[in-house]
Chains A and B, each alone.
Chain A
């Protein structure tokens, strides 16, 4: 289990924290060709131990209708790893599957009701950033909203954090 227990939180002087990246991913046929990179630097003097990612997004198709089909892909990065945290742009429909089936969609009434909680046990180091490089295949803009829940770890406690992580390491491969 990667959730930090309260005794460890106190020992590390960790602080509950959340980073949120949100924005409107531009249309594919626009000047930005459907690409938007959202970024938030880690607070100075701290590392960020992320535990959970919650995410939601809209599903507006090229005609401006809400048809419930995901057109967003995303590559998550941590600002310290040039190849990112995935080998490719992953389809956000695997993280959350929003969308109500409607005969006629409403551009101003997006269906982003479903939220998904994804385990995201990752240490963003103090010089890094929480980054989502989002691409939109629709000719209409789509909204993206993601929040990482976790703890800020003071630089002075990082050795204790490493010891805690190692104490949770699983057994050797089968």
Chain B
């Protein structure tokens, strides 16, 4: 009997974001197919120098199948963010199926010039078992 099971892939936890491009990889665990439902990412609005920043980040997903799945922007620090909060969270809905053992590479690119000495946190939220394995 197939029951969906929440499984979260953590990636790039507290990794310095080196703009314009940072690459991170994570492997889909063996034993079950896995459907990526959405990406959650957070990024501090305040960089080391103390200035407020609002970089526009884009995520692209590459897999071992050689597919570039998505290229959706996540905008941080935009007008909908409450002023004064130091960290902003955004989610991107996806709904992409992956096979066991598949390596997902996430390319994070930004509009800022040069490296940003801040950290970005990304988690990939999905469900195992939709394909019966």
Contacts and interface: CB of A to CB of B under 8 A. Distances in A.
Instruction: Please say whether chains A and B are actual partners in one complex.
Output: yes
Nearest to B44: A69
Contacts of B107: none
Contacts of B33: 173
A170 B86 contact: no
Contacts, number: 120
A165 B26 CA distance: 28
Interface string B81-101: 000111111000001111100
A173 B4 contact: no
A123 interface: yes
Contact of A91 (B10, B26, B38): B10
Interface in A156-171: 162, 165-166, 169-170
Nearest to B95: A170
Given A86-B7, A94-B89, A166-B2, A100 B13 contact: no
Interface in A6-61: 50
B68 to A, nearest CB: 13
Q: Which of B4, B14, B85, B87 has the most CB of A within 10 A?
A: B87
